[in-house]
Amino acid sequence: MSEFLAMGGYGAFVWPSYGLTAVIMVVLLIASLRGLKTTEAMFERLKAETGPIHDHSNVDNNNKTTAENADAHEA
Amino acid sequence: MHRFANPTRFLKLAAIIQPWVAGITLGLFAIGLYMAFFTAPPDYQQGESVRIMYVHVPSAWMGMFCYAAMAVASAVALVWKHPLADVAGKATAPVGAAFTFLALATGSLWGKPMWGTWWVWDARLTSMLILLFLYIGYMALQGAFDDRARGARASAILALVGVVNLPIIKFSVDWWNTLHQPASVIKMDGPSIHPDMLWPLLIMAVAFKTYYVWILLVRIRQELTANKVRILRLKQVHGG
């Protein structure tokens, strides 16, 4: 085991390389996932707050909620 | 293809694909790391330090790949004004910057025992540092304007101008004298590296790529949802 960790005398260079790679990739992943969760929660909250307000700009969309119109707007 | 370029459809599709990409990424990392440490032999010259290659080389490849992806997205955004292209470029930049930084940092950790120095100002290392600065410039420009569209446009132009750096990075080891070793995998007459080292390297490279796809899906979903939040806020302000 200690022989494995020593990496033939290069342990001080091999392990920091892998450690740094792991830390940066995990941090970027967690930050991205949390960003998505926060934004989705904000969207759901706004959608609930805004409620079924009619968008008069489009007759066909009259029974859709504003949030659905936000979807439609993007499409 | 155009069907899936529709943001609403993309959001639905991305949510379905994402867990699969996550699972594939984790599986590939498990296999790749096992091979990198247990089946790959030490190098006859570099000893065990060669294991740094399995994170250093995929990082460097992805640093360049992400830049190319960002440049293509920028071109599509500038020419066709496609909403998803802007978002894809913006979502790629932090991933590419992270990979480029990792290539530089792990290269430094590999260079110290092999070359006897953490850093040299030669063509390969300097052009990779410039790549990192291009990413940072791109991200800074995104947020530098009150008008989001102007920020997107300015950064897209920077991304396109910076493409000239990619061939310089690739061929720097052939064009100039350098401590950095020349290409041993991506070259005209095939890889000159033993299969016992090539396989773990390729599996790690694919793992890095699927990791990028995973992050890209998450960040694009976040950006598209943020756009919808902005639309809702505007509607609230204007009273619906």
Cα B80 to the chain's mean position, in Å? 24
The residue among A2, A5, A10 with the most chain B CBs within 10 A of its CB, best to mutate, is: A10
Instruction: Using pLDDT thresholds of 50, 70 and 90, give the confidence band for residue A63.
Output: very low
Q: To 10 degrees, the CA torsion angle through A73, B1, B4, B7?
A: -40
With a cut of 60, say whether residue A72 has pLDDT above it.
no
CA separation (Å) from B140 to B59, B152, B160, B166, B230?
A: 22, 11, 16, 20, 21
With a cut of 70, say whether residue A54 has pLDDT above it.
no
ipTM: 0.90
**B window 66-105, beta carbon within 8 A of A:** 83, 94-95, 98, 101-102, 105
Which has the higher per-residue pLDDT, B142 or B187? B142
Average pLDDT of chain B is 91
Q: Which residues of chain B neighbour A73 with C-beta distances below 8 Å?
A: 231
Q: Which residues of chain B neighbour A25 with C-beta distances below 8 Å?
A: 98, 211
Contact A7 B51 (CB under 8 A): yes
The model's pLDDT over B102-126, given as tens digits with 9 standing for 90+, comes to: 999 999 999 999 988 899 898 999 9
A29 touches chain B (CB under 8 A): yes
b/e per residue, B110-142, with b = 16+ CB within 10 A?
bbbbbeeeeeeeebbbbbbeebbebbebbbebb
Contact A43 B232 (CB under 8 A): yes
- Among residues B58, B105, B208, which one has the least CA distance to residue A29? B208
What's the length of chain B? Answer: 240
User: Considering the domain B20-239 in this protein, what is its CATH number?
Assistant: 1.20.120
What residues have CB less than 8 Å from A49, skipping those under 6 apart? B236
The residue extents of the domains of chain B are 20-239
Shortest distance, CA B102 to any CA of chain A (angstroms):
6
With a cut of 70, say whether residue B176 has pLDDT above it.
yes
What residues have CB less than 8 Å from B84, skipping those under 6 apart? B5, B6, B7, B10, B220
Instruction: Using pLDDT thresholds of 50, 70 and 90, give the confidence band for residue B3.
Output: low
A30 touches chain B (CB under 8 A): no
